[in-house]
């Protein structure tokens, strides 16, 4: 890895610190922690959970597990914000490799062994793999399908896959602690998107970020349509905030959902005017433009139906029908969020999908 900052040599099985901020995750936290404890890895392990101000039984579940497992530690995260929790957990941990884990994820048994080996083999500062979205209910399985499809959320390597090699960003991340220390840990003013920002700062500092498709993390999407929409609305806002802060924070695929939202709004307005006969006295060319604009909502509906029918996945009819609500929910909520974020900035927007109700 030429022209990169010097990285110290790490022994074959270094100690690993797993860090995880949690808030209202009583349903998922035990499975996430068990997947860490079940890692087939010869090195030392510790888990540091940053406890936010949960209003469900999360902290009680964690207290029970901590009483049974001496490698499990906790720190308080009064704000409940993800980047603040990550930094608190990192500072409270001790080992040279830091693995970020999310409460909605479960690690494959060989995840740590493969990830650390890739870290050593490539000399990278951060290694990530595939988000293996799955579902326990028909709705979750529909959302999981949208996550990995180019017609849904696909685009980033960790959603749809790519050959192994250098990457713009990494899902969750397996880090060398010295690299995290060198760039100053996670940016706490970014309540979402702090992982992309971290990867950008690592790359600007001369470190490598690496994608390994053999690494997979099982991810459980939000369980209801309302929570999914809230999640993607906040994600769109914070993605726009990143674009406001960094010239590198832009991609063609980021502009498609907001353009869709604008097209749908203009098209629906055109349809209302055409239905009311308001264009009778207008010039012919303007009436034609309105007619074309009015086709946008119709074409989008037809496209959504086509996607739900043809998307490559082992889905039941019920799950494909749910895609008719999932796909527009993702596209429109993310697009609306991005428009708001680009115009007004994030200004501390909260992802309300993490609330109990």
pLDDT at 227 (0 to 100):
95
When pLDDT is cut at 50, 70 and 90, the band that residue 2 belongs to is very low
The answer on 271 and 201 residing in a single domain is: no
**Domain end position, chosen among 202, 223, 244:** 223
When pLDDT is cut at 50, 70 and 90, the band that residue 247 belongs to is confident
- Inter-residue contact 128 to 169 (CB < 8 Å): yes
Q: Is residue 9 part of a domain?
A: no
Q: At what angle do helices 317-344 and 138-148 cross, to 10 degrees?
A: 60
Neighbours of 125 (CB within 10 A): 31
The answer on 267 and 161 residing in a single domain is: no
The answer on 70 and 195 residing in a single domain is: yes
The answer on 166 and 51 residing in a single domain is: yes
The answer on 217 and 75 residing in a single domain is: yes
Domain count, the chain: 2
Position 64 pLDDT exceeds 90: yes
The answer on 332 and 207 residing in a single domain is: no
Q: Is residue 237 part of a domain?
A: no
The answer on 325 and 181 residing in a single domain is: no
Here the CATH number for the domain that contains residue 165 is 3.90.550.10
Structure tokens at 326: 């999932």
The answer on 330 and 193 residing in a single domain is: no
When pLDDT is cut at 50, 70 and 90, the band that residue 1 belongs to is very low
Q: Is residue 95 part of a domain?
A: yes
Closest CA to 258 of 178, 319, 338, 144: 338
Q: Is residue 151 part of a domain?
A: yes
- Model-level pTM? 0.88
Residue holding tokens 């349809």? 271
pLDDT in tens, 101-120: 999 999 999 999 999 999 99
Q: What is the dihedral of CA 135, 140, 141, 147, to 10 degrees?
A: -100
**Domain end position, chosen among 223, 241, 264:** 223
Q: Is residue 235 part of a domain?
A: no
Q: Is residue 281 part of a domain?
A: yes
Position 158 pLDDT exceeds 70: no
pLDDT at 3 (0 to 100):
52
pLDDT at 238 (0 to 100):
95
The answer on 74 and 171 residing in a single domain is: yes
**Lowest-confidence range among 50-59, 231-240, 318-327, 348-357?**
348-357
Q: Which domain holds residue 285?
A: 252-346
The answer on 28 and 71 residing in a single domain is: yes
Q: Is residue 6 part of a domain?
A: no
The answer on 195 and 268 residing in a single domain is: no
The answer on 208 and 256 residing in a single domain is: no
- Give the whole-number percent of the chain exceeding pLDDT 90: 78
Distance, C-alpha 186 to centroid of its chain: 15
Helix runs in 246-311, H state only: 252-275, 284-310
Q: At what angle do helices 58-68 and 29-37 cross, to 10 degrees?
A: 20
Q: Is residue 241 part of a domain?
A: no
């Amino acid at each position: 890895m030429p022209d990169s900052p010097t990285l110290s040599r790490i022994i074959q099985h270094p100690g690993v610190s797993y860090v995880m901020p949690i808030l209202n995750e009583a349903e998922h936290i035990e499975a996430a922690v068990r997947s860490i404890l079940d890692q087939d890895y010869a090195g030392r392990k510790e888990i540091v959970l940053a406890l936010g101000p949960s209003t469900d039984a999360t902290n009680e579940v964690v207290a029970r597990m901590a009483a049974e497992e001496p490698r499990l530690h906790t720190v308080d995260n009064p704000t409940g914000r993800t980047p603040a929790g990550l930094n608190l957990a990192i500072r409270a941990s001790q080992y040279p490799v830091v693995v970020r884990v999310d409460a909605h994820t479960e690690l494959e048994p060989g995840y740590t062994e493969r990830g650390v080996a890739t870290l050593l083999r490539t000399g990278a500062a951060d290694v990530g793999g595939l988000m293996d979205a799955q579902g326990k209910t028909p709705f979750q399985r529909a959302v999981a399908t949208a996550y990995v499809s180019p017609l849904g959320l696909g685009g980033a390597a960790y959603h749809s896959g790519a050959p192994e090699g250098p990457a713009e960003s990494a899902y969750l991340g397996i880090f060398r602690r010295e690299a995290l220390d060198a760039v100053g840990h996670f940016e706490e003013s970014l309540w979402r998107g702090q992982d992309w920002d971290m990867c950008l700062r690592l790359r600007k500092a001369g470190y490598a970020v690496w994608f390994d498709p053999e690494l997979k993390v099982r991810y459980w999407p939000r369980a209801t349509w309302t929570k999914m929409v809230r999640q993607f609305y906040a994600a769109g806002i914070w993605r726009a905030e990143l674009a406001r802060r960094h010239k590198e924070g832009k991609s063609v695929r980021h502009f498609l959902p907001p353009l869709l939202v604008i097209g749908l709004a203009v098209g629906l307005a055109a349809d209302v005017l055409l239905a009311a006969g308001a264009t009778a006295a207008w010039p012919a060319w303007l009436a034609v433009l309105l007619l074309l604009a009015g086709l946008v909502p119709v074409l989008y509906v037809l496209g959504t139906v086509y996607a739900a029918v043809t998307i490559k996945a082992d889905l039941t009819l019920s799950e494909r029908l749910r895609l008719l609500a999932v796909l527009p929910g993702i596209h429109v909520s993310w697009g609306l969020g991005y428009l708001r974020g680009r115009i007004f900035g994030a200004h501390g927007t909260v992802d309300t999908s993490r609330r109990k109700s």
